[in-house]
Structures are given as C-alpha cells and as structure tokens.
Structure 1
Amino acid sequence: MIKTLKNISLEKLTQKLSASIVYAILSSVALNFFFQPGHVYSSGITGLAQIFTTLSVKLLGFNLPVAVTLYLLNLPLLVLAWLKIGKRFTIYTVITVTLSSIFIRIIPEYTLATDPIINAVFGGAVMGAGVGYALRSGISSGGTDIISLYIRKKTGRQVGSISMIFNAGIMLIAGILFGWEYMLYSLLTIFVSSRVTDAIYTKQRKMQATIVTKQPETITRALHDDLHRGVTVVNSAEGAYSHDNMTILITIITQAEYQDFKEIMKKSDPTAFVSVAENVKVLGRFVEDES
C-alpha cells in the first residue's frame, strides 16, 4: 500500500482528497437532513446501512449509528476491491468511505421538513450531486460501485444494470420490513438522484480529437502510456500553406480525460493543430478507465 501511495502524485492525491471531502459533506447532508428525518431509504450501501440501523433498534433495542454500519458493510468490499479491482482505486475509495462515515457521524441530524416526498426529492438531489461530483473527479464512494465493477470484470455485464438490480433488492427489503410507502419514497429518491448524477457526471461523454502534427510518435506514445487510448494514424498529409509533411492522429477520449489530454499535447507538441469534437457516438469497443 505504501508503494502504491508513492506512485500517486501529490497533486492528484490532493485533487482526489478534495473531491472525497465534497462527496462526504453532501452525502452526510442528504442522509442527516433528509433521509433519516423523513424515513426515506437511499440507494446502494447507504440504503442498506440505514436498514441495518433501523433493524438494530427494532430487534436489538439500541441504535447502531448509520456511520458505523456503513463502514462495516464497506470493509469486506474494500478487501475485494484491493484484491480484484486495483490498489489505487481501493486507496481512493478507502479515503472516501472513511471521510463519509466521519462526516455522517459529526454532522447532526436535523429535520428541515416532515413531508417524506420533500425529503425524498431534496435528499435525492443532494446525494445525486455528491455522487455526480465524485464520479466526475474519478473517485468511488464504495459499496455498489465495488460490487458492480467486480461483477462486470467477471461477467462483462454493464455496471448500470448491476446497480439497478442491487438497488431494487434494497427497495424491496425496505418495503417488506417497514411498509410499501417507504419503498415508493425511496424509488423517488433514486430517480431524482440518478437524474442529478447524470447532469453532473460527464465522464461517459466521448470526444474525438483530431491532431495535425510533426511529432506523431511522441504524441501517440503519450496517449498510449498516460491515457491508454488507441490512435489512428494518417500519414503523408500536407499543409496547404507551408506544404510541410504532416501526420494526422485521430483518437477518442472521455470528457473527464480532456484536461490530461491538453497537458499531453502541451508537453508533446505545443505547435500541433488540434480539433476536438464533443459528444461523439462510438460503435465498437471503448474501454473506460475504472481506476
């Protein structure tokens, strides 16, 4: 783990830590200001932690805090992530899960509204904003992210469909144990949260970069090594004004990789002509970085 930490740049670690803090605060506000007071269950591991906390009161007679159940539920999943998904991914996730549990514990529970629909909508919006920002920053909140990525690696199934099945199971448990109205409120939360997440999270948007350069080998190697992106090379292009021999490179990146792409171009060939088209459709195999 120490060796892995040494390989992470201080700048990147600071960026990930900042994103983890933002997510931790937003998820804690959603939980303590809306979900818990409104008896609305969140999606994913957070919703499962709420269920365990509610059951601890009903069955054991004492309140096991959500922050504790959330962390305990994530522990075996973090071990799974370390062994099967990636060490760097796991380190970022440990930071996020730890900060989330701490903030959930220290931010007091406060009732802003008693209407469960209001709590479902606003809680879902705040949680969706936190999840969207986390995903856009390349971090994971743990829980179902780990389960979905692991099952995807084993079976090839889409992460979205796996998460949907898991969340459906949580909603069903909440409905059976505590009443079907809670399931309906929680479904509303999931819908609002997913819409807000989609509005903020732009990693899935593809961009096509067309590069006209005299340094094709340097740029291609950087795109392969740093972004793990394939490149199509068109040789023997000619500048209409200078008549210089040029090479055209075409690659597809995600919007989340755009800043890194600009840095690569600045270092590899600052004189290159680069054209970027947004929101392109891609057919065929396109791998998104999960680490």
Structure 2
Amino acid sequence: MNDLDLNRFSRKYSFVAKLGAAVLYSVMVAVALNFFWHPGHIYSSGITGFAQIINTVTSRYMPFTIPTEVMYFALNVPLFILAWVKIGKEFTGYTIFTVFMSSVMMKFIQPTHISLDPILCAIFGAAVNGMGTGLALKNGISTGGLDILGIVVRKKTGMNYGKFNIIVNMVIVIFAGFLFDWSRALYTALNIFINGRMIDAIYTQHHKLQVMIVTEHPTAIIDGIQSKMHRGITILHDAEGAYGHVEKTVLLTIIDTYDLYDIRMTVQDCDPYAFMSVTEVQRIYGRFREQEIV
C-alpha cells in the first residue's frame, strides 16, 4: 500500500468512525432522555437540559407544547453558526448531522413502560449520556450545544470539558428546583456531576502530561518520540546519577494522554535502563501543538 492509498484509507476510516460515533451518541442520548430523565423528572446538562426546561414551561403555562427534540435542534442553530466561524466547516458538518440524528432518535426511541427511582434515573441517565458524549468527542465530533462552547473555552483557558459543563449547568439545577421540587434539583445536580465525570473519564485527549526522562541514550529516544508524535523536547545536559556518577541527559516534554503508551514503548526500546517520570499538567503557556479541529 503506497502513501496515497494509505491516506485514502485513513480518511475513509475516519469518516466512517465519526458517522458511527454520531449515530451511537444519538441513540444513547435518546435512551437517556426518554428512559431515565423524563420519567424521573430530571434535567440533562447543556442544551438538552434547556430544551427540557422549555418543554416543561410550555406544557404547563402555554396553550401549546414545544417537544424537547424540536427545541434541542432549534437551540443548536446559533451554535452551528459559531462553530462554522470559530472552529471549522467539516467540524460543523459533523455537528449538524449529530444533532439532527439525535433529534430524530429522541422522537422515535420511546419506552413502552418504565418506572424507576429518581436517583437511579439520574445515575443511569448520566452514565449513558456521558458515555455517548465522551465517545463522540473522542472521535473528533461535537454533540452540539455546550460542546462547542466547551471546546472553545478549553482551547483558550485549558479548563477541562467536564468542569466547564458543571459550572455552566448550575442554572439548570435552579430551574429544576423551581419547576419540580428541590429534591429533583439535587437529582439533577447529581446527574450533571456524573455526566461530567463520565465524559472526562472517556474523553482524555485534553489531559496533558509532563514526561521527564533521564537517559544515557538521548539521541535515539528523541528521534523515536519526534518520528511518532512530533513533540517538542527540552534537553538538559550534564546530569549525573548519584549512585554510579555516570553522565546522563534529562529530556522534558509535554504529551497528550493518548501518547503515553507510545512514549513508554519508545523509551523502553531505546534505553531499558532509563528513568521516566510522568506528572499531570494543569496549565500550559507558550507553544504547544494541539490536535487540529477541522
């Protein structure tokens, strides 16, 4: 297989993976909404939660009812424009497809009969939706709504996606308390927290790690890392081991969580006796190569 064929295969695989993730998310959010959140009178996070609030308000206080799936799509339209301008056309195209499929699935995936404890509704609804959202983000697509704002905020400030979700969605908790009761507000808060934790557990690309390597064979390790990951590396010369008093070199680099396995294998192959330390990074300032969103 030549480079052109490999590039075509990669693009085709990425396209299929993204469409599959979009469909899977749309099914999972529909299950979370119709099987758990609606029966338990619990609100979701983000645009889905606001759509639920509008559905509740119109059904109670208006002569008409706006379905959640219709409001969900309508509220996303301004964010499609934001994504088109700020993030990219291809990214926006996948987002529109994902939101459209989610609206369709919300309409047609309905339980015949379900009655669960509200705490179970909060836990299982959050787990199902968080898993679907995390898988979608992991495959490079957005599920619409606050995902778009979350990506922009993460790129600007470094705040991870789950924490952003929790902060923004406190207003939904307040609405849940006023529209139902404050026990439902508590369940909604639990739902939002679990949803954010589940997303963070699956979508780990935004987690950055600092790797320090102490080695006697720096050139081989540097070549191996840069050929696979294209990461910048800082080289500290003239280090000395306290035990053997052997001259060593210290290498420092910042990687995505996804890169950790590759860098471990590279170091192990080049220098089995190298010392390697990994710590989580909270903030990065200066030049760092993020994965591009197109």
TM-score class normalised by the smaller sequence: 0.7 to 0.9
User: What corresponds to 2:159 in structure 1?
Assistant: 158
Deviates more, 1:43-52 or 1:175-184: 175-184
Residue 123 of structure 2 is aligned to residue 124 of structure 1: no
Q: Which amino acid aligns with 2:280?
A: K
Distance (Å, rounded) in 1 between the aligned partners of 2:210 and 2:23 = 29
1:102-251 to 2 correspondences below 5 Å: 102-151=104-153, 156=157, 158-160=159-161, 161-203=163-205, 204=207, 206=209, 208=211, 220=226, 223-224=229-230, 229-232=231-234, 251=253
Q: Structure 2 unaligned runs (5+)?
A: 1-7, 238-248
Distance (Å, rounded) in 2 between the aligned partners of 1:183 and 1:122 = 16
Residues 125 and 192 in structure 1, CA contact (< 8 A), matched pair in contact too? yes
User: What corresponds to 1:280 in structure 2?
Assistant: 279
Q: CA RMSD in A?
A: 3.6
User: What corresponds to 1:40 in structure 2?
Assistant: 42
- Pick closer, same or farther for the CA change 1:122–1:16 going to 2, 3 Å: same
Instruction: After superposition, give the CA deviation of every residue in 1:31-60 in whole Å (9 maximum; x if it has no partner).
Output: 111001111111111111111111221233
Q: Which amino acid aligns with 1:192?
A: I
Distance (Å, rounded) in 2 between the aligned partners of 1:148 and 1:42 = 16
Q: Which amino acid aligns with 2:180?
A: F
- Pick closer, same or farther for the CA change 1:215–1:121 going to 2, 3 Å: closer
- Pick closer, same or farther for the CA change 1:92–1:189 going to 2, 3 Å: same
User: What corresponds to 2:58 in structure 1?
Assistant: 56
> What secondary structure sits across from 2:254 in the alignment?
strand
> What secondary structure sits across from 2:131 in the alignment?
helix
Residues 213 and 273 in structure 1, CA contact (< 8 A), matched pair in contact too? no
Instruction: After superposition, give the CA deviation of every residue in 1:209-267 in whole Å (9 maximum; x if it has no partner).
Output: 9796669789747744xxxx4234689xxxxxxxxxxx9986432233579x79xx9xx
> What secondary structure sits across from 1:281 in the alignment?
strand
Q: Which amino acid aligns with 2:159?
A: Q
Q: Which amino acid aligns with 1:148?
A: G
> What secondary structure sits across from 2:281 in the alignment?
coil
Distance (Å, rounded) in 1 between the aligned partners of 2:79 and 2:209 = 30
User: What corresponds to 2:100 in structure 1?
Assistant: 98
Identity of aligned pairs, percent? 39
- Pick closer, same or farther for the CA change 1:192–1:130 going to 2, 3 Å: same
> What secondary structure sits across from 2:33 in the alignment?
helix
How far is 1:185 from its partner? 1.4
- Pick closer, same or farther for the CA change 1:290–1:128 going to 2, 3 Å: farther
Q: Which amino acid aligns with 1:115?
A: D
User: What corresponds to 2:3 in structure 1?
Assistant: none
- Pick closer, same or farther for the CA change 1:201–1:84 going to 2, 3 Å: closer
Distance (Å, rounded) in 2 between the aligned partners of 1:42 and 1:276 = 46
Residues 158 and 283 in structure 2, CA contact (< 8 A), matched pair in contact too? no
- Pick closer, same or farther for the CA change 1:187–1:82 going to 2, 3 Å: same
How far is 1:117 from its partner? 1.6
Distance (Å, rounded) in 1 between the aligned partners of 2:181 and 2:155 = 36
How far is 1:119 from its partner? 1.0
Residues 127 and 193 in structure 1, CA contact (< 8 A), matched pair in contact too? yes
TM-score where L is the length of structure 1: 0.73
TM-score where L is the length of structure 2: 0.72
Distance (Å, rounded) in 2 between the aligned partners of 1:11 and 1:91 = 17
Q: Which amino acid aligns with 2:192?
A: I
Q: Which amino acid aligns with 1:189?
A: N
How far is 1:78 from its partner? 1.1
How far is 1:110 from its partner? 4.3
